[in-house]
Structure 1
């Protein structure tokens, strides 16, 4: 795992074009082990002593103090997704039109088509399928009974889509991706993924480089102790595990970080309502427990 100064040097080299993206990644991931934590390194421990205070900045306790980060780096893949989304949006704005044959080829190559059954009389969708009675189908719209449903072909749906993107016939998510996720999409979704893939292929190296630089920057920020406070073990675990912090009004009770005060410091009417909600939640969970409901 690279030290703080080594990360800065690597980031600067990559940003200035002194090292390729492939070499930068190789250098960063070299000796990286799953589950390895930066706070176990010698570099961290040496620099930590310069930043940690003599008491908890939340409750003023002096017992078992630690550095509490208020922000953390995200996964590398999250940066790639975010930047790809931005490039895709820009690509869509500058390339709103897609060749129909290109779109058709993309659909057939990347998606399995699961057609929606239609009534042969009124073309209503999803007629009721009967197990015992005959004919097999009955249309809920026109009440027509029939044995064989009709279906629209992929090309028919694409033609309708190119005439009217909001058409009733093309709203169904009947295109299943051929990847491991097997996501269901309608043609509007499929068009987005085509444009996204086109943007990604066009600017693949730029996207990868920007994402990796952002990832490095956030890791450098994390190692710099920039966005940190000194906290005791109780305050640190409350923040990390339960997203709670000490109430700034009473400095006694903990509160959710999204709330301005703890329940005890709320006005009487709001405090009473909050306690009733909490009590109801406890009773509900207890009932689930007795019934064996997870």
Structure 2
């Protein structure tokens, strides 16, 4: 008996395949070809329950070692990172758990005072979003959006799911609850439109899973010096590539990881290199929301090119 294989594999049908070499051409503000942003993940984790990255083997709850290591980011590491960002005049896209408003509101206030973009990142990173049914996922998206508007005076335009955990309906629900873009997908180096139900759409802005301290430093046990060199190498290669296409490079940082003093020392070297490129006019150093707004303006002038 012969086996019949399906002609096509199951697909998400959110966007079509389009190679990077066959895209519309455009530039970022000031004629730049490479847009760079920091995704600064400020998160809170339940004590004695739920998910969380680990520096040592997970222990039966309460896991004081790993909870305390993560909490260092809110108490110390984030503040050291903000000092560094201030010294280099770097904006961030701050990915905010709304549990921070209860736990350490001063930290969110500091981000607002800097003028950083606040991006929805769930209520807590101790929870996965993708396990929720439609009603509860919609409620999560609406509650986070409403609370950030109420507490900080700005409703988030974008969203990154805790642990990049999506249901099959997440893009639809994001579009329907007022979000303009998602950072969940790491499939490209350019923004593109995703299809959502009912004829809607949602921008997908590239978010890094390689230039990201959790998979690199925690997952692959990369040294801080090597992570810094990786950021610089990636930047210089993408700067060369951007001569052919406009590109986006994000750097994802978590303060309980890069806020550790010896890692911060090496991060400073990498970010200083990016700041120098910005000062020379080689790049546009920005936020994910500004990227989505810019391509949205281009799309209105040139409809149909970004699908």
TM-score tier by shorter-chain length is under 0.3
**Structure number, greater radius of gyration:** 1
TM (norm. structure 1) is 0.21
Larger relative helix fraction: 1
**Structure of greater relative contact order (alpha carbons < 8 Å, 6+ residues apart):** 2
TM (norm. structure 2) is 0.20
